[in-house]
Structure 1
Amino acid sequence: MKPAVAVTLMLSLLAFHTASWAQIFVCKDAGGRTLTSDRPISECADRPIRVLDGRGNTRRVIEPPPTAEQKRKLKEQEEQRKADDIVAAERSRIDLAIKTRYRSETDIEMARGRATAPIEEKIRREKSSLTEAEKQQAEAQAEADAVQKKNRQLPAHVKRKLDDAAQSVIAARKQLEEAEGERTQVSARYDDTLKRFRELSGVTAKPLNLE
């Protein structure tokens, strides 16, 4: 090959290589003008920038960084995704526990009975305490009424007995309400378990016998 031909070929290859790897940055500024440069364009920092090769073909697009509002929404979406993942994982854990622990609806009802038995006993005790407190309150009130019938001022000890009896009734009622609330919560959990067991087993709820 003659030297002149070789040089021409080499220059042609170099030009082709340069054209293939050259980068041209193109964007539109806020005023709608098309800007071009051989490096990233500062005027389009908040706008998409197309990167062209030497032949004018788009090689890639440089997207602008997200705005503060976009960042906030992305953060909210990520937090929601994490929360949904936690809920899904907890649901899977509960489903596995239900399938592992119970073989039938009878098993669930037996577990309900074991869980509520001590609560039922507590309710019976609290009812008895409330009955006793109300009895003592009635006795204190009767004593106060007898004194007032004689047009006498209530002695301090009678007033104190009335107040103590009233406080005892209030406390007993509160204890009873808490125990009954606990029973409701426990029973509701087993209702949910039974419902989910039926869903996992593909069993529909049994119809009520209204006869």
Structure 2
Amino acid sequence: MIRRLAWMWKASLALTAISTAAWGQSASPTPAGPKIYSCVTADGRRLTSDRPIPECQGREQTLHRSDGTVRAKVAPAKSPEEKAADEVLQRELLAKKAALDDAIRHDRNLMARFKNRAAHDLARAAALDDLDAATGVTQRRLASLAKERKGLDDEAEFYKKKTLPPKLKQALDANDAATEAQKLFLEQQSAERGRVNRRYDLELTRLQKLWAGAPPGSLGPPPSAHESEPPPSAASVSGARR
């Protein structure tokens, strides 16, 4: 009984091996037949070759199987101008894809940072608080310089028709320079406040559409730094004209 079972097991293995080999042979790819190209030249000649036909480089060629049936159509080779145009188009497509990827990434990051309007308002307030603190420092410095200037002017009254002492003149010049610097800081801080508000306004407009269900990247490119600039005030335009 044991010998019979052993024999049956070996026979089963042999049949499995034969079946596997037969399947492998039937599944192996059939070697590709020879390639046959044909075309009609510009002057009407029909040419045939086992490789692409140089005389028909600018014309469509037909690739046949060994039995003569059509396997594929081979498009004409492109001219240098056509290749250059394709390269330009490819660069444009790549640039558009990169811009879309950037917009998608920007929108996803924006939505991850701000889940709702309250979170965005809080971030705006924090950014403005920092600017307000810096502006307060500048204003206090200007007040201190103005007080210092009054004392220097009072002292200079004694020298109306005389040459100012070098030390006093140096102090007046230093006060002027420091005051101008602080005024410039104040202007920059005011401009920065406008930029911050403008940036948060643009973000909020975009976020409201995203919160409403607009897919990330569907709203066009993110606002640039230039778009975040506040419009020039009438005073700055007037100063520029002067």
Provide the rounded CA distance (Å) in 2 between the counterparts of 1:27 and 1:177: 77
**1:49 — aligned with what?**
60
Question: 1:126 pairs with 133, 138, 141, which one?
Answer: 138
Report the secondary structure of 1:91's partner residue. Answer: helix
Tell me how many residue pairs correspond in the alignment.
174
Q: CA deviation at 1:145?
A: 5.7
5 Å matches for 1:171-182? 171-182=181-192
5 Å matches for 1:51-200? 51-53=62-64, 55=68, 57=70, 59-65=72-78, 67-99=83-115, 102=116, 105-141=117-153, 143-144=155-156, 146-147=158-159, 149-150=160-161, 152-200=162-210
Q: Deviations over 1:149-205 (max 9, x none)?
A: 32x233332332222111101221232233333333333333234333432444xxx
Q: 1:87 to 1:198 in 2, by over 3 A?
A: closer
Q: 1:138 to 1:92 in 2, by over 3 A?
A: same
Provide the rounded CA distance (Å) in 1 between the counterparts of 2:44 and 2:88: 31
Q: 1:68 to 1:201 in 2, by over 3 A?
A: closer
Q: CA deviation at 1:78?
A: 1.3
Gaps of 5+ in 2: 1-32, 213-242
The one-letter code sitting in structure 1 at the alignment partner of 2:181 is A
Greater RCO, 1 or 2 (C-alpha within 8 Å, sep 6+): 2
Q: CA deviation at 1:57?
A: 4.6
CA contact (8 A) 2:145 2:175 kept: yes
CA contact (8 A) 1:98 1:193 kept: no
Report the secondary structure of 1:40's partner residue. Answer: coil
Q: 1:110 to 1:80 in 2, by over 3 A?
A: closer
Aligned residues with identical type, % of pairs: 22
Q: 1:159 to 1:112 in 2, by over 3 A?
A: same
